Amino acid sequence: MTVMPSRTPPGPMENLNHIGTGNLRSATPPKVADFAGGLGIVAAALFIGFLLRDRLGVSDIALMLLIAVQVVAIVYGLWPALAVSVASTLGYNYLFIPPFYTLSVADPANVVTLFLFALAALIMSSLTSLVRWHALIARSARVEVEAEKLRSALLTSVSHDLRTPLASILGSATTLKTCRDSLDESAQRQLIETIREEAERLNRFISDLLDMTKLEAGAVAPRTELVDVSDVVGSALHRAGEVLKHHTLQTTLSADLPMVKLDPVLFEQVLFNLFDNAAKYAPAGTVITLSAERTGRSITLKVLDEGDGIPPADLDRIFQKFYRVRASARQRAGTGLGLAISRGFVEAMGGRISAQNRRDRRGTVFVIELPVPDESPEREDAA
Ligand SMILES: Nc1ncnc2c1ncn2[C@@H]1O[C@H](COP(=O)(O)OP(=O)(O)OP(=O)(O)O)[C@@H](O)[C@H]1O
Ligand SMILES: [Mg+2]
């Protein structure tokens, strides 16, 4: 029996696209504004109580103040609530317990009322803050569970992306070894081609992972030099030759391009990633265009394709690592690292990269802007 390994199917990275990690807002220490807000609420309650003093009983006003304290506890947390418990007790005494407008209390029975009021305010604010705190803890636990899920999903898909090509390589190699005699030449060649392609894929995936890790660790230090853009474009095109063989390539480099400061190795990688995407996501036989022109103090490079374009909501998200547009992720293998790396590299060289949909027809444009250094000479061959 011959095992004909199939091409690696798209990885499950698309499943990760829409897992958010949420925002963990921890119980931060109270700010002056929180105290001010709490005092504002209690002052408002005291004022309303004062206006209605003749119509409401003292106990009604006490209840209203307690509700205000509880609102403060819910909105601002423990410390502002404790502060307004004290403030409202004082205000209650000052405005509503005879003799008015002084903090002294004439009737001993009112001392008990005041004491009970203060106690109620303190207990309510503590309990409410406790409930609030527990809700916060529950929320951060939820966020943690979600982050953990994301981590394990990432791990699953990374190991999928490593193991699937390896399985194909092993399968093909084993078939070649054990069934060589029963295979005709074209079957053998196909197996060898599969081994080469999948090893290539594995190689690329691993170097993408390394690049991404380096970028995240801040360990990418571009070795910039003054270069002629057309040289870097030329070498990127050379490298992408195989990838671009089913498309027609057009380049329009304007004649007045100045020299730019960039790291040729990183920049070649960026251009390669864009060519690779254009070839992958635009149908075979269509035109891929690369243009470069000077725009004031910068030069603008564009890679245009004739594919389906990108949903507007995804135009920036595609630069996040592992993000893939659902529709294309279903059709084409990939990990969603290419553009994240490209943006990291371009920004490390002081430039910017963005994606747009074409206005003149269907398709995507990737735009790279690079600053032109002040001392940049004109290119030697410029007319
Ligand atoms: N030219 C394009 N046309 C349409 N969609 C694109 C194009 N370039 C990128 N995309 C979308 O952006 C996503 C992210 O691209 P990116 O290059 O980062 O990852 P990838 O191509 O999926 O995988 P790889 O890591 O192998 O490059 C792609 O999955 C695709 O959905
Ligand atoms: Mg890509």
Per-residue pLDDT of the chain (383 residues; tens, 9 = 90+): 444 444 444 444 444 443 333 333 345 677 899 999 999 999 999 999 999 988 888 889 999 999 999 999 999 989 999 999 999 999 999 999 889 998 888 888 888 889 999 999 999 889 988 898 898 899 999 999 988 887 887 788 778 888 888 999 999 999 999 998 899 999 999 999 999 999 988 998 898 888 988 998 888 889 999 999 999 999 999 999 999 999 999 999 998 889 999 999 999 999 999 999 999 999 999 999 999 999 888 999 999 999 999 999 999 999 998 899 987 777 788 888 999 999 999 999 999 999 999 999 999 999 999 999 887 666 555 44
Whether residue 171 is found in the same domain as residue 313: no
Whether residue 91 is found in the same domain as residue 152: yes
Whether residue 237 is found in the same domain as residue 93: no
pLDDT for the residue 328: 76
Domain ranges, residue 320: 225-371
Q: For residues 126 and 49, give the distance between their C-alpha atoms in angstroms, rounded to a whole number.
A: 24
Among 290, 324, 346, 353, residue to substitute to test ligand 1 (most atoms within 8 Å of Cβ): 324
In a domain, residue 103? The reply is yes
Whether residue 197 is found in the same domain as residue 70: yes
Whether residue 130 is found in the same domain as residue 246: no
**Of the ligands numbered here, which is closest to the C-alpha atom of 366?**
1
pLDDT for the residue 377: 64
Whether residue 251 is found in the same domain as residue 193: no
CA of 148 to the centre of ligand 2 (A): 26
Whether residue 212 is found in the same domain as residue 303: no
Q: Which atom of ligand 1 is nearest to the CA of 326?
A: 31
Whether residue 14 is found in the same domain as residue 72: yes
In a domain, residue 376? The reply is no
Residue pointed to by tokens 């990275």: 13
In a domain, residue 379? The reply is no
pLDDT for the residue 163: 87
- Whose CA is closest to atom 31 on ligand 1? 325
In a domain, residue 380? The reply is no
CA of 230 to the centre of ligand 2 (A): 23
* CATH number of residue 344's parent domain: 3.30.565.10
In a domain, residue 142? The reply is yes
- Whose CA is closest to atom 10 on ligand 1? 277
Whether residue 344 is found in the same domain as residue 299: yes
How many independent structural domains does the chain possess? 2
In a domain, residue 318? The reply is yes
**Of the ligands numbered here, which is closest to the C-alpha atom of 307?**
1
Q: For residues 190 and 5, give the distance between their C-alpha atoms in angstroms, rounded to a whole number.
A: 10
Q: Which residues of 168-184 are buried (b: 16+ CB within 10 A; e: fewer)?
A: bbebbeebbeeeeeebe
In this structure, what token pair is assigned to residue 39? 């005092």
- Least Cα distance to 334 among 70, 7, 77 occurs for 7
pLDDT for the residue 244: 95
Q: For residues 223 and 227, give the distance between their C-alpha atoms in angstroms, rounded to a whole number.
A: 12
Among 318, 321, 362, 367, residue to substitute to test ligand 1 (most atoms within 8 Å of Cβ): 318
Q: For residues 323 and 79, give the distance between their C-alpha atoms in angstroms, rounded to a whole number.
A: 43
Q: Which atom of ligand 1 is nearest to the CA of 303?
A: 1
Whether residue 261 is found in the same domain as residue 362: yes
pLDDT for the residue 25: 38
- Whose CA is closest to atom 29 on ligand 1? 324
Q: For residues 13 and 375, give the distance between their C-alpha atoms in angstroms, rounded to a whole number.
A: 45
- Whose CA is closest to atom 9 on ligand 1? 277
Could you say which of 195, 219, 243 is where a domain stops?
219
Alpha helical stretches, state H, 224-376: 229-239, 264-281, 326-331, 338-348
Q: What is the DSSP pairing of strand 248-253 with strand 287-295?
A: parallel
In a domain, residue 77? The reply is yes
Among 206, 243, 281, 306, residue to substitute to test ligand 1 (most atoms within 8 Å of Cβ): 281
pLDDT for the residue 322: 87
Whether residue 208 is found in the same domain as residue 230: no
Could you say which of 198, 219, 240 is where a domain stops?
219
Whether residue 1 is found in the same domain as residue 146: yes
Could you say which of 159, 184, 219 is where a domain stops?
219
In a domain, residue 152? The reply is yes
Residues whose CB is under 5 A from ligand 2 (ion)? 277, 338
pLDDT for the residue 376: 65
**Of the ligands numbered here, which is closest to the C-alpha atom of 332?**
1
**Of the ligands numbered here, which is closest to the C-alpha atom of 309?**
1
- Least Cα distance to 129 among 25, 27, 35, 24 occurs for 27
Q: What is the DSSP pairing of strand 260-262 with strand 298-304?
A: unpaired
CA of 79 to the centre of ligand 2 (A): 52
In this structure, what token pair is assigned to residue 16? 């990760």
- Whose CA is closest to atom 28 on ligand 1? 324
